[in-house]
Amino acid sequence: MAIREIVRLGHPALRTPAREIPSPIAEAAELQTLIDDMLETMTAANGVGLAAPQLGVDLQLFVYVLPAAADEAPSTPPTVVVNPMLEPEPGELVYDWEGCLSIPDLRGLVPRHPAVRLHGLDRRGDSMNYVARGFEARIIQHEFDHLNGVVFLDRMHDLQSLTYGEEWERYLADAADVVTDRI
């Protein structure tokens, strides 16, 4: 396993739609190494989500973990998602603070679906199909966007709320519950 470099906005991989990963997945040694590297890189970055294009790799793959609460250690093992498809569940869009490991230090208010149904494969190639809500749904939508060359800035309805981390802590943190900025 190895920690890889997380590429930043400007790297073409962040603006290129990722390719579907062919089966069989469990036997693809290079892919399994990539997955291990993504998990290690996400942990090293203290992240809660990471998509393959953030390592400059144009494959439909992301990983995420759910902290027990904001700024706490993850309470469950990480989830690996291959070739995902998302279907929004009914419900009004929810605005919350988001950032991105590939756009360091910037945060903004991003509207997301409150719940999404995720279809995809796990790292063994087995089907996954479940509904994620709230914080988990936000992470999944952010990572799914990375597989389509979309970043959170593109999802902001306007850029008025865009702020640096230090200014966010100074002027905005009191009014906000949680910021999802390590994804």
Has 5 been annotated as catalytic?
Answer: no
In contact, 14 and 58? CB cutoff 8 Å:
no
Write down the least CB distance from residue 57 to Ni ion, Å. 14
Q: Which of 40, 87, 143, 166 does the annotation list as catalytic?
A: 143
- Nearest residue to 181 via CA among 79, 106, 94, 75: 106
Footprint of Ni ion on 76-105 (CB under 5 A): 100
Q: How far apart are CA 24 and CA 28, in angstroms?
A: 7
Q: How far apart are CA 101 and CA 56, in angstroms?
A: 13
Write down the least CB distance from residue 5 to Ni ion, Å. 15
Report CA-CA distances (Å) from 80 to 97, 127, 172: 24, 12, 33
Write down the least CB distance from residue 10 to Ni ion, Å. 14
* 42 near Ni ion, rule: CB under 5 A: no
* 35 near Ni ion, rule: CB under 5 A: no
The residues of the shown chain that bind Ni ion, judged by CB under 5 A, are 100, 183
Give catalytic residue positions: 143
